[in-house]
Amino acid sequence: MLKGAEAVFAKEHSGSPLLLASREAVDRMIDALMGGHPHGEMAKLTSLDRETLPSGEPDHEFLVGVDPDGKVGIVCFADAEASFVPKGVAVREEVTYMLLTYPRDFLESPEIPIDLVRRATKEFVHSGGLRPTCIEWQEEPY
């Protein structure tokens, strides 16, 4: 049985990450981000179903950001291979999302509809931490 993922997007999650073990929990997290969470509009997820590095640190991360207007967002999957963002043409040259009051810039990375953000996040959580297949990916431009 899959364990799900842990999410950090608020100061109180730094020592005790939020457990995402259901589709409803993912929706609640995204709704909280869309509601204008005071610490930012991005969450960092790590799967509880993947092996960790010898150091005990996760071998991956999945970032989920939502634009405050709730229409678009961004996802980013990173592992030892590379950092990936949705494939496509960016509308804006650079977008910035806040994670725990720290800015995370995405250069020439396309934002996607919020429904697709939700779908990709649920797939990440319920696939054991694999890169979601519901969207096409490209290496993140730097």
Global pTM reads 0.94
Query: What pLDDT, on the 0 to 100 scale, is given for residue 1?
Result: 81
Domain that holds residue 66: 5-139
Distance CA 74, CA 118 (A): 10
- Residues with Cβ within 8 Å of 17's Cβ and at least 6 positions away in sequence, in order, are 6, 7, 8, 46
Q: With contact defined as beta carbons under 8 Å apart, do 97 and 76 qualify?
A: no
Residues belonging to the chain: 142
pLDDT in tens, 3-23: 999 999 887 777 789 999 999
Q: Is the pLDDT of residue 89 over 70?
A: yes
Distance CA 49, CA 27 (A): 20
Q: Is the pLDDT of residue 68 over 80?
A: no
Helices (H), the chain: 23-34, 114-126
Number of domains in the chain: 1
Residue among 48, 95, 54, 93 at smallest CA distance from 76: 95
